[in-house]
Amino acid sequence: MNENLSVLGVFSLLSILAVGGGAAVLPETKALVVETHHWLNDDQFRDIYGLGQVVPGPNMLMVIVIGYHVTGFVGALMAFLGFFLPAGAISWAASRVWDHFEGSPWRRALQQGLAPLVVGLMASGTISIARTAIDGRLTVVIAFAVFAGVYCVKKINPALLVLGGGLVGLALLSGTGAGMPPS
């Protein structure tokens, strides 16, 4: 099968499954990209997720980089279109008919029921990244520090904390071969 179409297909599926946003679809993204298709290994997935954290806008723009790894710039475009077009089209269509459901008690049930499901999926997303990203004492310290920073200090730009984590890694880990691909 043509790899470009394969990228388009995988990310289109993820797009439709992305109920609750990017973090909710993270475990499934990793399962498909790393385990099913072997496009990336664990460490590359973690690294690319990290790249998504340091740029503005939705973190899941990192799908562009995954596509780029598979088939270059065409793959990048396929991943982008696949991940954003189907969900975008659904939202567009739904917003035009949504007002008909104004006041339906089921709308409230839908929101209340989906809210904990989404939180569960976000927690699973955190776990899936943590399984490769938490490796050694320093990574635990960085994760706790950023957690405390984001959770306790309200007015702080999270991207700065993520970049700070990168600087700490650079300063303390660069001699150790941490994160190096096995050669």
Partner 1 sequence: MNPSPPPVPAAAAEAPAAYAVPRGVPLWDIFVTFLFIGAISFGGGVVAYLRASLVLKKGWLDEEHFLSALEISQALPGLNATNMSIIVGDRLRGVAGAIIAFAGMTLPGGSMVLALGVAYAANAHNPYVNAALVGVGAAAVGMLSAVTLQIGHKQLNQVLNVAIIAATVLMVSFLHISLIWVLLTVGPVAVFLFRPRKGDGEAAAGKSGEAS
Q: In 20-157, which residue ranges form alpha helices assigned H by DSSP? A: 26-30, 42-54, 63-98, 105-133, 137-152
Binding residues for partner 1, total number by CB under 8 A: 121
> Which of 1, 2, 38, 181 is close enough to bind partner 1 by CB under 8 A?
181
Interatomic CA distance for residues 126 and 30, integer angstroms: 12
Interatomic CA distance for residues 149 and 55, integer angstroms: 19
Closest distance to partner 1 from the beta carbon of 71 (Å): 12
Residue 48 within binding range of partner 1, rule CB under 8 A: yes
Residue 139 within binding range of partner 1, rule CB under 8 A: yes
The answer to whether the beta carbons of residues 4 and 73 sit under 8 Å apart is no
Residue 134's region, left for phi above 0, alpha for psi from -120 to 50, else beta, is beta
Closest distance to partner 1 from the beta carbon of 162 (Å): 4
> Which of 7, 40, 78, 142 is close enough to bind partner 1 by CB under 8 A?
142
Residue 120 within binding range of partner 1, rule CB under 8 A: yes
Interatomic CA distance for residues 65 and 31, integer angstroms: 17
Residue 9 within binding range of partner 1, rule CB under 8 A: no
Interface characters, 71-110, with partner 1 (x: CB under 8 A): -----x---x---x-xxx-xxx-xxx-xxxxxxxxxxxxx
